[in-house]
Chain A
Amino acid sequence: MAKQYVSTTINGESAEYLCETQQTMLDVLRDVVGLTGAKEGCASGDCGACSILVDGRLVCSCLMLGVEAEGKSITTIEGIAEGDKLHPIQQKFLEHAALQCGFCTPGLIVAAKALLDENPNPTETEARYWLAGNLCRCTGYDKVIRAVMDAAAVMRGEAA
């Protein structure tokens, strides 16, 4: 089948690619665009390791087709930091040691950003339910939740 031309925005830059119509956004990002930060853990929308933002909305990129990015704005883990300045969520993940193997980390950080963009002052319970779509097998989530809550405080200007 002929490939489809897609014009979109990825991490703030306009981007174009050709992809198969059945190709997932995750495969397009990893194999066509060359951004491998989003991970495949399940390819069924259960683990959240492939989380991206589509027009600001949290999406499992394994459940989205590459052609659906047409005209949209895509944010991946590679677009969370501003240049060499880490996003507060990234900084807090480092300070709290909220990662061990790091494989689920890109998805968790993208999902946490979506949470804090929508709800700058979540309760711990709200954070836990929001991040329930992101599996982490290493940390038991304790330090992840602490990092997200701390990052939220920094983004609200209540902590450093």
Chain B
Amino acid sequence: MNYIDSGLKVVGTRPVRPDGVDKVTGRAMYSADTRVAGMLWAKILRSPHPHAKIVKIDTSKAKALPGVKAVVTGADFPDIPNEEAFVGEGPMNFRDLARNVMARDKALYEGHAVAAVAAITAEVAEQALALIDVTYDVLPHVIDVEAAMADNAPVLHEDMFTVGVEPKPTKPSNIAKVIKFKKGDIDAGFKDAEVIVGGRYTTQPVHQAYIEPHACLAQANADGQVTIWASSQGHFMIRAYTAKLLGMEMANIRVNPAEIGGGFGGKTLIYIEPVAVRLSQMSGKPVKIQMTREEVFRGTGPTSGAVVEVKLGAKRDGTIVAAQQVLKFQAGAFQGSPVGPGAMCGFALYDIPNIDVLGYDVVSNRPKVAAYRAPGAPITSFGVESALDELSTKLRMDPLALRQKNAAKNGTKTHYGPTHANIGFEQVLAVAAEHPHWKAPLKPGHGRGLACGFWFNIGGESTATVHVNEDGSVTIATGSPDIGGSRASMAMMVAEVLGVDVARVRATVADTASIGFTHLTGGSRVTFATGMAATQAAERVVDELKKRAAMIWEISPDAVEWKDGQAVPAGTNAGAFEPLDLAAIALRAARTGGPINAEISVNAQGAGAGFGAHICDVSVDKETGHVTIERYTAIQDVGKAIHPSYVEGQIQGGAAQGIGWALNEEYIYNDKGQMENPGFLDYRCPVASDLPMIEAVLVEVPNPRHPFGVRGVGEVPIIPPMAAIANAIRAATDVRVPDLPMSPPRVRAAIDKA
């Protein structure tokens, strides 16, 4: 059923979230908060070298330290064959994942795990780490993406030959993969162009910087059964990956989802769970691992840093006729950068006849990258949206009008294959054009920038259950970790279908043994896909409630209607009966067939793509190069906002992360290949005093493939900020800053150079 125009009572309101009180009183249990009696604490030894052969690891002294109960190295884990699976938002090679969790023959980045100790206290485990003697044969290393692509670069993987080039290379390379997308005839397009702009843009790796460091607790029993408590974006993901890496059956692993303290894509893979399980198996005791912030920075994945070359050709009237891009994405120590989506997203916003994109996935001696909010898209769009600004300047055309002239619409065929359907980019731009911020006169010294973003959004596999309790209250469960308010949106959709007050619907996240498979929380899929499962489960419960009422009234189920939370006779012909609400039907459940509930599993298709446009005013201190965000407005097609406050929150939070990416955040390496800023003092995330209010404008172009019109919202808002700010700086100073972050020294240097 479709509820989009059905006079919604719950959806679109702003109730307090079901898990709210736990989270404002300190009661919510995050991963690090779990404790069991007799548990050990484990610590991980990490390589100080960015690239080194591991010649020998002597753990005898560590094992002899009183209080140490188990020590593991790579040799204690199965050697996983080289095979690739598509999971989450990208490909996953389990051999790479295994070797990222614990190095085997080589350490590939500073911070790569090489051994772990479980002991009676964290202090003893820490002391034991110092007693592990690792003999390294230090190798030359490479950090920069273009240096890693050079012919003479130190090679990370002797068995890596570039995929996607003919003939197949005979020499190993750090270029894991080359990808190409072509549409039309790029040479003819540029020949036809009257104005051509080009630029080379660079971005730095940035960390998701979730405030909760990775943590888990694992208990292995003598019968082979394992229980894990962990926070992640997918407890089924933890189960699958841990089973794979340890050669176990999934049924022998039960993962309990702790509350998650932020992920943003960074908790879509595992680092510590197999280590904790292995240490628990060897010691016979529960084992807890809790990363320090420094470990999070050195040992877990940021998103790629990249080089983005863009060339655009247009007619004098602003019609873009040719667009070309070369993307060099660093993947970290193992292949798998988001260069694929990067190659798709930059030009997906525009209807351009001739497109050519070339992308490189490049390994170097840095932590393996992980997903980060719209993986790849912010990087590619920083280049494209900056170049579009150059084009509008050159054409003397309003940047918004230039985008409106070229905007993708329903029926536009993308350069990577699919044809856009049910998109709302034109509506977003129309709202931007009329927004008071866009029309407001600029204050002296300020500059205004505009940039846009596109993300596919995904659907996929989800399970939800709806239970009508004995008293007529309702509990629901899903397999989706609640990373930012999804319990609220699930409860609201179910309450809407059942026609009851949302406070009568309580939502939980069930563990891997208690609900059907659910793909991880990522790709902006939960409210869409898990929401679809929850809606359908509620509909099945309504069908059941109608059947029960029909039995009570001894009429045909077709003669019963569900209205405002009650069964009523469908018409005068059906008979005259007093309405039966949930409580009344639940009271008679035993006599009419037993408990009333439904579990629905879906593989949701038809996720609606999302588009956003951000407007940003900045001022620039020309003496220091410091950029102040003076005003910020983010406009986005959200399909339908189930709980508008949390949709706004996604947009505001995504924009803030993008502002950090734009202005401050970067990894600083010394010449030894070691990260020099692995803490929040020197890796500078935005704080409250760095930002203004961020106005989130919700444009609702319903997605017809979802019962409430939902489309994903979490990823689009991180895409436009970098270019919006660069374009605003350009407007304020006449200087283009093509390199991120646009930190004070870099902005000052760009001004000095101009």
Q: Are A100 and B213 CB-contacts (below 8 A) given A36-B33, A142-B693?
A: no
- Cα separation A46 to B64 with both chains bound (whole Å): 37
- CB-CB < 8 A to B693: which residues of A? 142, 145-146
The closest CB in chain B to the CB of A23 belongs to B123
In the docked arrangement, what's the CA distance between A80 and B33, Å? 19
Which residue, of B24, B29, B685, has the highest number of chain A Cβ atoms within 10 A? B24
Interface assignment of B679: CB less than 8 Å from any CB of chain A: yes
Residues of B within 8 A of A (CB): 14, 16-17, 19-30, 32-33, 208-213, 259-264, 290, 292-293, 483-485, 643, 645-646, 648-650, 652-657, 679-681, 685-691, 693-694, 696
Nearest 7 CB-CB pairs, A to B?
A37-B26, A103-B261, A140-B656, A102-B23, A97-B645, A77-B26, A46-B680
CB distance from A73 to the nearest CB of B (A): 18
When the two chains form their complex, are residues B211 and A97 in contact, meaning their CB atoms are under 8 A apart? no
Q: Give the distance to chain A from B490, nearest Cβ to Cβ, in Å.
A: 15
CB contact under 8 A between A128 and B209, given known A35-B26, A94-B24, A138-B484: no
A139 B212 Cβ-Cβ under 8 A = no
Asked whether A145 and B688 contact (CB < 8 A) given A36-B29, A42-B679, A86-B25, the answer is yes
User: In chain B, what residue has the closest Cβ to A131?
Assistant: B688
Decide: A78 and B17 in contact? CB cutoff 8 A: no
> With the chains together, A49 CA to B685 CA distance in Å?
14
Question: Which among A133, A135, A137 has the highest number of chain B CB atoms within 10 Å?
Answer: A137
Q: Is A74 an interface residue (CB 8 A)?
A: no
Partner of A137, one of B213, B646, B653, B690: B653
Contact call A103/B21, Cβ cutoff below 8 A: no
Do A140 and B259 touch across chains, with their CB atoms under 8 A apart?
no
What residues of A have a CB within 8 angstroms of the CB of B484 in the complex? 100-101, 138
CA distance A143 to B384 in the complex (A): 31
CA of A105 to CA of B681 in the docked complex: distance in angstroms? Answer: 20
- Asked if A134 is an interface residue, CB under 8 A from chain B, the answer is yes
Give the chain B neighbours of A35 by CB distance below 8 A: 26
Q: Output the nearest chain A residue to B29 by Cβ-Cβ distance.
A: A36
Which of A42, A80, A100, A138 contacts B25, CB < 8 Å? A80
Q: Can you offer 19 A-B residue contacts whose CB atoms are under 8 A? A: A41-B211, A42-B680, A43-B293, A44-B293, A44-B679, A77-B25, A80-B25, A94-B24, A97-B17, A101-B261, A102-B22, A102-B23, A102-B24, A131-B688, A134-B688, A137-B685, A141-B656, A141-B687, A141-B688
Inter-chain contact B652/A95, CB cutoff 8 Å: no
Question: Could you give, for residues 119-145 of chain A, a 1 whenever the CB lies within 8 Å of some chain B CB and a 0 otherwise?
Answer: 000000101110111111111111111
Max chain B C-beta neighbours (<10 A), residue from A90, A96, A131, A141: A141
Residues of B within 8 A of A128 (CB): 688-689, 691
Instruction: Point out the residues of chain B lying under 8 angstroms from A144, CB to CB.
Output: 688
Q: Which of B14, B687, B696 has a CB less than 8 Å from the CB of A135?
A: B687
Contact indicator A97/B259 (Cβ below 8 Å): no
| Most-contacted residue by chain A among B23, B264, B643, B650 (CB, 10 A) | B23
Q: Is the CB of B211 within 8 A of A137?
A: yes
Report yes or no: A78 in contact with B293, Cβ–Cβ below 8 A.
no
Across the interface, do B24 and A44 meet the contact criterion of CB distance under 8 Å? no
A138 and B26 contact, Cβ closer than 8 Å, known pairs A40-B32, A100-B646: no
CB distance from A149 to the nearest CB of B (A): 11
**Cα distance A76–B26 when bound, in Å?**
9
Contact B25 A81 (CB under 8 A): yes
Q: Give bound CA distance, A136 to B209, whole Å.
A: 10
Contact B652–A143 (Cβ < 8 Å):
yes
Q: Which residues of A contact B260 (CB under 8 A)?
A: 101
Pairwise interchain contact B652-A41, C-beta atoms closer than 8 A: no
Does A66 have its Cβ within 8 Å of any Cβ on chain B? no
Q: Are B688 and A105 in contact (CB under 8 A)?
A: no
A25 CB–B CB distance under 8 Å: no
Given contacts A43-B293, A132-B689, A145-B693, A103 and B211 within 8 Å (CB-CB): yes
Q: How far is the CA of A90 from the CA of B263 in the complex (A)?
A: 24
Q: Min CB distance, B200 to chain A, in Å?
A: 30
In Å, the complex CA distance between A146 and B649 comes to: 12
Query: In the complex, A30→B212 CA distance in Å?
Result: 15
A105: chain B residues at CB < 8 Å are: 23-24
Interface of A is mostly: loop
The distance in angstroms between the C-alpha atoms of A99 and B652, with both chains bound, is 12
Contact A78–B26 (Cβ < 8 Å): yes
CB <8 Å contact, B680 and A137: no
Neighbour of B485 across the interface among A97, A134, A140, CB < 8 A: A97
**Nearest opposing residue in chain B for A27, CB measure:** B122
Contact A37 B25 (CB under 8 A): yes
Q: Which residues of A contact B33 (CB under 8 A)?
A: 30, 36
A-side interface residues, number (CB < 8 Å): 55
Q: How far is the CA of A111 from the CA of B753 in the complex (A)?
A: 43
Chain B residue with minimal CB distance to A111? B688
> Contact between B26 and A86 (Cβ–Cβ < 8 Å)?
no
Contact surface of A with B, Cβ cutoff 8 Å: 30, 35-44, 46-47, 49, 76-78, 80-81, 86, 90, 93-97, 99-106, 109, 125, 127-129, 131-146
CB pair B645–A96 under 8 Å, yes or no, is: yes
Chain A residues within 8 Å of B680, by CB:
41-42, 44, 46-47, 135
Residues of B within 8 A of A135 (CB): 209, 211, 680, 685, 687
In the bound complex, do residue A137 and residue B264 qualify as a contact, i.e. CB atoms below 8 Å apart?
yes
Chain A positions within 8 Å of B22 at CB level? 102
**Contact A90 to B25, CB < 8 A, known contacts A95-B16, A97-B485, A103-B30:** yes
Q: Is the CB of A99 within 8 A of B24?
A: yes
Q: Which one, A30, A106, A140, contacts B653 given CB within 8 A?
A: A140
**Residues of chain A contacted by B685 (CB below 8 angstroms):** 135, 137
Decide: B210 and A101 in contact? CB cutoff 8 A. yes
Q: Least Cβ distance of A3 to chain B in Å?
A: 12
Q: Across the interface, do B26 and A140 meet the contact criterion of CB distance under 8 Å?
A: no
B24 touching A90 by the CB < 8 A rule? yes
- Which of A35, A41, A43, A142 has the largest number of chain B CB atoms within 10 A? A142
Residue from A44, A46, A81 whose CB has the most chain B CB atoms within 10 Å: A46
Contact B483 A100, beta carbon cutoff 8 Å: yes
Cβ of A93 and Cβ of B24 under 8 Å apart? Answer: yes
The residues of A that contact B17 with a CB separation of less than 8 Å are 94, 97
Name the distance in Å between B228's Cβ and chain A's nearest Cβ.
19
Q: Is the beta-carbon distance between A137 and B657 smaller than 8 angstroms?
A: yes
- Of all chain A residues, which has the CB nearest B208? A137
B652 and A142 form a contact (CB under 8 A): yes
Residues in B with CB closer than 8 Å to A134 are: 687-688
A46-B679 Cα distance, complex, nearest whole Å: 8
Chain B residues, Cβ within 8 Å of A99: 20, 23-24
Point out the residues of chain B lying under 8 angstroms from A80, CB to CB: 25
Q: B30 near A39 (CB under 8 angstroms)?
A: yes
| Complex contacts, B32 vs chain A, CB 8 Å | 30, 36, 39-40
Instruction: Report the bound CA distance from A26 to B656 in whole Å.
Output: 28
The interface residues of chain A lying within 8 Å CB-to-CB of B20 are 93-94, 99
Cβ of A65 to closest chain B Cβ, rounded Å? 15
Would A46 and B26 count as touching, CB distance under 8 A? no
Q: Which one, A78, A104, A106, A140, contacts B694 given CB within 8 A?
A: A140
**B27 nearest in chain A by CB position:** A37
A133: chain B residues at CB < 8 Å are 687
A42-B293 contact in complex given A103-B30, A140-B655, A142-B652, C-beta closer than 8 Å: yes
CA distance A43 to B347 in the complex (A): 43
Kindly state the separation between the CA atoms of A138 and B485 in the bound complex, as whole angstroms.
11
B211→A136 contact, CB < 8 A: yes
Bound CA–CA A143/B208 (angstroms): 20
B123 → A minimal CB distance (Å)? 8
In the complex, the chain B residue whose C-beta lies closest to that of A126 is: B689
Q: Is the CB of A41 within 8 A of B212?
A: yes
Q: Decide: B21 and A139 in contact? CB cutoff 8 A.
A: no
Contact A100 B26 (CB under 8 A): no
Among residues of A, the one whose C-beta sits closest to the C-beta of B259 is A102
Contact of A129 among B209, B292, B643, B689 (CB under 8 A): B689
Answer whether A106 and B26 are a contact pair too, CB < 8 Å, given A135-B687, A139-B652, A140-B691: yes
Given contacts A36-B26, A103-B262, contact A137 B210 (CB under 8 A): yes
- How many angstroms from the CA of A19 to the CA of B427 in the assembled complex? 61
Q: Which of B209, B213, B643, B649 contacts A143 (CB 8 A)?
A: B649
